[in-house]
Structure 1
Amino acid sequence: MKKWFGLMLVMSTILYGCQSSDENSEENTEGKLSVVTSFYPMYEFARQVAGERAEVSLMVSAGEDAHHYEPSAKDVAKVNEADVFVYSSEEMEHWAESLLETTENDKLVVARTADGVESAHSHEHSGGEEQEPVNIEIQGAAEHYHTGDMIKLSAVTDNGADFEHWHWYTRKSADEEWVAIPNEFSSELEYLASIDNFEVRAVLFDDNHREFAESEPVKIVIDNHGETPGHGEEEAHEHGEEEEHEHGDEAGHEHSDEHSDEEGHDHSHGEGEETNHDHEHGSAEGAESVEIIGLADHYHTGDVVTLVAELQGETDYQHWHWYSRSGENEEWEAISGQETDHFEYKNTGESFDVKAVLLDDDHNMYAESEPISVLIDDHENKDPHIWLDPVLAQEQVKIIRDALIKADPDGKEVYEKNTEAFNNELQELHEDYEAALEDAEKRVFVVQHQAFGYLADRYDLEQIAIGGLSTEVEPSPSRIAEIGDLVKEHKVPIIYYQQGANSSIAETVAAETGTKTATLFDLEVLSKELEEKDLGYIEAMRENLESLQLSVQ
C-alpha cells in the first residue's frame, strides 16, 4: 500500500510539475518563506509564529478530514517546493510519512509538532509517582459447571486500586492465545459455560488504558456427567436440553437455550456436512441476501459498534445471530446477546470480522451476510488530539518556531517575538480554563467522539465517549436505555457532538433521555462555522469553555 501510494505521489508530482512551476516561481519572487501545513491547528499555529514573514498554506482545506485525507498532486508539488512542512503526528495524519518519503526536497525542514509532547504529557500525568503493585484474585469459581450454566466470577484487588476499567479473557489451554470476552468491563463477570474446559483471567487497566495488573488464570471445568467435552454438535444440543429440564431453573433454561442456539450454530459454520446442509437450505429457499449497514471506517477502543442487518426481501423469520472472528484463519464464534437485526457491541480494542445470520423456525440458516471488517484504530494507542490542551499547544508552537528559525535564521527575532506573544495568549486561555473549572462539583462530560482526553486530563475532568451514534443507524431502545442510565448516574444535562458533525441522532438520544445537545470544536476540520465566524484557535477554544460549563458546574 505504501509503495503504491509513493508511486502515485511521484507520478502526480511529474504530471503537476509544469502546471505548478509558475505558481512556485511567483511565490519565490515575493521573498517569503514557504510553509505548508497539514490541517487547521497546524495552520493556525504556524500563521501566528510566522506573521508576515512567511507564506503559510493549508493542505486539508474546509470540510475535509485530516484522518482520511489523501494528498493531491498540487499538495505534493507544494511540499517539493516548500521551505518548511508542519504536521502533528502520524497518528493524526497517517499519510504524512509516505508523503515525506516521496518528497524530493533536500532543503525541506520538517516540524513534527508532537515531538516531545507525548513524553511531557505522560510525565505530567504520572506526576513521577508509581502505583503500588496490585494483586488480583478471581473469586466465585465452582468445582465444575454443566454446559449452559451461568458462570459468575468476581475480580478482587488486595489494596483497593482506584482504577475501574476491567477486561476478562479466556483461552482453551495454555498453548492458546487469550481472547477478550466482549462487553465485560467491570470486576464482575457473568459468562455462559460452553462445552469444553477453559481458563479465564481478569486484567485491570489504568486511566490511559494501559495494563495495570492481572490475575492468575483460573481453570473452569465443564463436567456434563459422562458426556465427553467436545462431542458432536447435535449431541451437545440435546444434552443441553436435558440439563435444562433436570435443573428446572428458569434463568438457567434461558441461558442454556441461548447457548444451544449460539454455540451449536456457531460450530455448524465449521467443517462438516451440517455446514453444507445449511448453505443448501438457504439456496433452496431462495433466500435473499443480507446487507450490513452502519459500518464506520474505523472505531476507537471502547466505542460501541452499531450495525443493522437488512434482508433484501421479505420474510417472517426474526431469529438472528451475529458471529465474529479475529481473522480469516480463525473460526467464527457466536456473540452472546445479539439476537436481533440490530448489533450493538462495545469493542475491546481488537479489530475483527462480523457477519449476520438469519435462521428459520427450525434453526437452520435461511440467509447470511458477507463478512465485514470492523477496524479498531486507536492511532497506535495514542490520543492524537494534543492541540486541545492549551499547555501542550504551547509546546507545539515552540517546535514550529524552531523549524522556522532553522529554515530562516535571519527571521529568528521575529519568530521568537511572535511565539512569545501567542504563547502568552495560550497561557491566559489555560488560566481561564483553570479558574472556570477548578471548583466545579460535576466534572463529567459526555461526547460522541473521544477527542477531548488531553483537555480532560489537564483540567481533571472525566470524558465519557458514547460510541454507536452512527449517522446511518438509529440507536435501538436498549442502547437509548443504556445511555439514559449513564445520563442519570452522572446527572448529565448535555450530550456534546463535534461541531460540523451530523447532530440528528444526538438530538434523538437527547430527546429520549431528557437532555440537551451542544457542540464542541475538536478543530480537526476547518468547518464552515469557523470560517463564517472568523474564529481562530483561541476564539474556538473559548467557545468550548463556555459550552463545557453547561455540564461541568
Structure 2
Amino acid sequence: MKRFKRVLTLLSLSAVLSIAGCGSGNSTVTHEGNVSSANNQATDASTTETTKLKVKTSFYPMYEFTRQVAGDLADVENLIPPGIEAHDWEPTPQDMAGISDADVLVYNGAGMEGWVDQVLESIQGTGVFAIEASKGIEIMEGTGHSHDHGEEGDHGHDEHAHDHGEEGDHGHDEHAHDHGEEGDHSHDEHAHDHEDEGHHHDHGGLDPHVWLSPAMAVKQVRNIEAGLAKAAPEHQEAFKANADAYVSKLEALDKKFRDGLKNAKRKDFITQHAAFGYLAREYGLTQVPIAGLSPDQEPSASQMAEVIEFAKEHNVKTIFFETLVSSNVAETIASEIGASTSVLNPIEGLTEEDIADNHDYIAIMRQNLDALAQALNE
C-alpha cells in the first residue's frame, strides 16, 4: 500500500514540477556548481548584496548547520515541520514545488532521506543546487541486534564500513551517484534505481546518523560551506567566516564530550534505536539498540529478551528513549529490570517545547552529554 501511495505521489510531483519549472524567476544554479546568469547574478554590487539564496533543508540538523553557515545571506527553510519524526516524512506536491523554486537543497544523505533520490531526479534541470552534507564521510554499517561486543571499545564496525574518501563513494555499484567534486551532484540516468531497496524507513544497512557526533558535524558544516560557496561564490568569504565561527563551537562541544566521557565507569548504553553509532565510535562507547536504524521499527520478542538479558548481565540502570516517538518499549524493558528511563535525543527534529525553550543542536547535544555521563557513572 505504501509503495502504491508513493507511485501516486511521484506522478503528482512530476506534474507539479512541469508547471513549477516554467517561468521561474529564481536564481539558477546547476548541479555542476556553475552559477548561471539569472537574478542572483547581479549586474551591480548593490543588487548582489541584497540578493538572498532560497535554501530548503531536509530535516532539523541540516537546517541548523545551513542556517549557521548562511547567516543573513540566505532564507533557509526546513521541509519538515516541528514535532514530525524525520523517518516518517515524505514530500508532498506542495513541498516539491517549494524545492523546485529554491536555489539550494541541503540533505544529509547516507540513506537518511528515503525520498531524496527520486526528488533529485525530479528537480534535474530546474537549476536547484543539491548539497549532500555527509559527502566524503565514512559511512558505517548499521548496528544490528547482536550484543556480542567482544573487547571493550570494539563497536562491531568492520571492513564493511563505507569509506567515502574524497569521491563520496557510497559503496554502490557502477550506476551510483557520480558526485565529482565536493558538493557536485551531477546525476545520470542510472543514478537512482532503488526500486527494490524499500527506501521508506530502510537505510539499506547504512547508518545515516552522522550529525550525532560533533566531530562529524564539523565535516558536514564544511560540506555545506563548500556547497553554498559554489552556489553563491560572491559570498564565499562570508560563508567561510560563518562556518569557522560555528565550527569553533562544535569543536568546543566535541571537547566537552571527550572530557566528560573518557573516565566513565561503564562504556555501554541501551538506546531506543540505533542512532548513536557515530557518537559511540568517536568517544569509545558501545550502543546497544533496542530497535534498528529506524525508531518505529518494532523489536521482536527475542530481541527484547536479548536486550533485557544484556541489561541484567551488565547491571544497566538507565534505558534511553527519545523524543518524537513512543517510549513504550524502553519503559517496558526498564520496568522488567528495575531501571529508570532517560532521554537521549537523536535530534531528528525539534519539539514545540524545544522551540519554546530556544533549544538548538548544541544545547540538545549538551543535554545528551549530561544524560550519558550520568547513566555511564551509575
TM-score w.r.t. the length of structure 1 is 0.50
1:199 matched residue in structure 2? none
1:208 matched residue in structure 2? 157
Which amino acid is 2:265 matched to? E
Which amino acid is 2:84 matched to? E
1:432 matched residue in structure 2? 256
1:516 Cα shift? 0.2
1:533 to 351, 357, 365: 357
Q: Which moved more, 1:512-521 or 1:482-491?
A: 482-491
Counterparts in 2 of 1:535 and 1:70: CA distance versus 1, 3 Å: same
CA distance in 2, matches of 1:384, 1:474: 20
1:79 Cα shift? 1.9
1:9 matched residue in structure 2? 13
List runs of 5+ in structure 2 lacking aligned partners. Answer: 28-38, 41-46, 149-153, 162-197
- Deviations along 1:326-363, one digit per CA (max 9) or x if unpaired, are xxxxxxxxxxxxxxxxxxxxxxxxxxxxxxxxxxxxxx
Counterparts in 2 of 1:514 and 1:433: CA distance versus 1, 3 Å: same
1:82 matched residue in structure 2? 102
1:506 to 311, 330, 345: 330
1:459 to 254, 273, 283: 283
1:463 Cα shift? 0.5
Name the % identity.
35
- Deviations along 1:283-311, one digit per CA (max 9) or x if unpaired, are xxxxxxxxxxxxxxxxxxxxxxxxxxxxx
- Classify the secondary structure of the residue corresponding to 1:34: strand
CA distance in 1, matches of 2:118, 2:15: 14
1:206 Cα shift? 7.8
Which amino acid is 2:66 matched to? A
1:504 Cα shift? 3.4
List runs of 5+ in structure 1 lacking aligned partners. Answer: 123-164, 167-182, 187-204, 213-373
The answer as to whether partners of 2:59 and 2:80 remain within 8 angstroms in 1 is yes
User: Superposition pairs for residues 513-528 of structure 1, below 5 Å?
Assistant: 513-528=337-352
The answer as to whether partners of 2:62 and 2:106 remain within 8 angstroms in 1 is yes
Which amino acid is 2:115 matched to? W
How large is the Cα RMSD of the aligned pairs? Answer: 3.8
1:482 Cα shift? 4.8
Query: 1:50 aligned to 2:70?
Result: yes
TM-score w.r.t. the length of structure 2 is 0.72
Counterparts in 2 of 1:473 and 1:448: CA distance versus 1, 3 Å: closer
Counterparts in 2 of 1:87 and 1:544: CA distance versus 1, 3 Å: same
Which amino acid is 1:9 matched to? L
- Classify the secondary structure of the residue corresponding to 1:55: strand
2:51 matched residue in structure 1? 31
The answer as to whether partners of 2:9 and 2:93 remain within 8 angstroms in 1 is no
Q: Who wins on radius of gyration, i.e. which is larger?
A: 1
1:530 Cα shift? 2.1
Which amino acid is 1:415 matched to? F
The answer as to whether partners of 2:84 and 2:324 remain within 8 angstroms in 1 is no
1:502 Cα shift? 1.4
Counterparts in 2 of 1:480 and 1:59: CA distance versus 1, 3 Å: closer
Which amino acid is 1:504 matched to? N
1:160 matched residue in structure 2? none
Counterparts in 2 of 1:423 and 1:15: CA distance versus 1, 3 Å: same
Query: 1:415 aligned to 2:239?
Result: yes
The answer as to whether partners of 1:32 and 1:54 remain within 8 angstroms in 2 is yes
Counterparts in 2 of 1:467 and 1:97: CA distance versus 1, 3 Å: closer
2:122 matched residue in structure 1? 102
1:91 Cα shift? 0.5
Counterparts in 2 of 1:402 and 1:506: CA distance versus 1, 3 Å: same
- Classify the secondary structure of the residue corresponding to 1:57: strand
Counterparts in 2 of 1:537 and 1:22: CA distance versus 1, 3 Å: same
Counterparts in 2 of 1:16 and 1:407: CA distance versus 1, 3 Å: closer
- Classify the secondary structure of the residue corresponding to 1:76: helix
CA distance in 1, matches of 2:375, 2:103: 44
Which amino acid is 2:69 matched to? V
1:64 Cα shift? 2.3
User: Superposition pairs for residues 72-221 of structure 1, below 5 Å?
Assistant: 72-89=92-109, 91-118=111-138, 207-208=156-157
1:105 Cα shift? 4.4
The answer as to whether partners of 1:470 and 1:505 remain within 8 angstroms in 2 is no
Which amino acid is 1:73 matched to? P
Which amino acid is 1:35 matched to? V
1:301 matched residue in structure 2? none
Query: 1:41 aligned to 2:45?
Result: no
Query: 1:380 aligned to 2:204?
Result: yes
1:375 Cα shift? 10
The answer as to whether partners of 1:64 and 1:525 remain within 8 angstroms in 2 is yes
**Which structure has greater strand proportion?**
1
1:485 to 298, 309, 320: 309
2:88 to 65, 68, 88: 68
2:270 to 436, 446, 449: 446
Counterparts in 2 of 1:508 and 1:206: CA distance versus 1, 3 Å: closer
1:315 matched residue in structure 2? none
Which amino acid is 1:540 matched to? I
1:22 Cα shift? 10
CA distance in 1, matches of 2:57, 2:289: 29
Counterparts in 2 of 1:47 and 1:480: CA distance versus 1, 3 Å: closer
Equivalent residue pairs, number: 312
1:529 Cα shift? 3.1
1:67 Cα shift? 2.5
CA distance in 1, matches of 2:146, 2:366: 38
CA distance in 2, matches of 1:537, 1:407: 25
- Classify the secondary structure of the residue corresponding to 1:549: helix
1:513 Cα shift? 1.1
1:185 Cα shift? 8.3
- Classify the secondary structure of the residue corresponding to 1:435: helix
CA distance in 1, matches of 2:268, 2:374: 11
Which amino acid is 2:206 matched to? K
1:17 Cα shift? 7.7
Query: 1:551 aligned to 2:371?
Result: no
1:242 matched residue in structure 2? none
